[in-house]
């Protein structure tokens, strides 16, 4: 913040004295760009959805549903959740010991077109829900088998 004040003071002082800061030479000058920002920015997702996942789940299908709401996959299979309607999330309710599936619930809800994929390496029962619509019954579950 001090650097900003100093540079602003130099600029104001130079313009008050009739100095535009330039001269007639072709010598390049060195300038510093202020890269500080007070506004948080959302990082772009670099995750590329798999072109052929082992299981697809539509998030928000037919209203407040996961479609399918239950399924079975094998260890090493990849699941792709695709938001067909906005305002939903995929938050883990329970999962087996040793599993670290984070779901997709960093935000309270996501927009239509959002995707989340995960490859499951721990066998067992997984249950999840939509944060805004859990009380309306928007829940799902699946089994990962050996």
pLDDT tens for residues 85-132? 999 999 999 999 999 999 998 888 899 999 999 999 999 999 999 999
Retrieve residue 54's tokens: 């082992």
Retrieve residue 99's tokens: 């599993």
Residues 6+ apart with CB under 8 A from 139: 66, 69, 93, 127, 128, 129, 130
Predicted confidence at residue 5, as pLDDT, reads: 44
pLDDT digits (tens, 9 = 90+) for 21-71: 545 555 555 544 444 444 333 333 435 667 799 999 999 998 999 999 999
* Cβ–Cβ < 8 Å for 123, 144: yes
d(CA 35, CA 11): 18
**Checking phi first, is residue 103 left (phi over 0); if not, alpha (psi -120 to 50) or beta?**
left
Query: What does the radius of gyration of the chain's CA atoms come to, in whole angstroms?
Result: 26
Q: How many helices (H) and strands (E) does the chain have?
A: 1, 8
| Domain ranges (residues) in the chain | 55-145
**Residue 144 pairs with which residues in a beta bridge?**
73, 124
| β strands within 37-119, DSSP E | 55-59, 66-67, 70-74, 78-83, 91-94, 115-119
Predicted confidence at residue 58, as pLDDT, reads: 98
Domain 55-145: CATH architecture, name and number where available: Sandwich (2.60)
């Amino acid at each position: 913040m001090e650097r900003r004040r100093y540079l602003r003071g130099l600029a104001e002082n130079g313009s008050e004295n009739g100095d535009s800061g330039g001269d007639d030479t072709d010598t390049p000058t060195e300038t510093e760009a202020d890269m500080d920002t007070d506004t948080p920015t959302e990082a772009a997702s670099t995750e590329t959805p798999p072109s052929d996942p082992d299981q697809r789940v539509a998030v928000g299908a037919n209203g407040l549903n996961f479609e399918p709401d239950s399924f079975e996959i094998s260890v090493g299979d990849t699941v792709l959740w695709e938001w067909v309607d906005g305002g939903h999330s995929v938050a883990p309710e329970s999962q087996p010991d040793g599993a670290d599936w984070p779901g997709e619930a960093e935000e309270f809800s996501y927009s239509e077109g959002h995707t989340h994929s995960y490859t499951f390496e721990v066998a067992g029962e997984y249950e999840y829900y939509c944060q805004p619509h859990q009380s309306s019954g928007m829940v799902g579950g699946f089994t990962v088998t050996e």
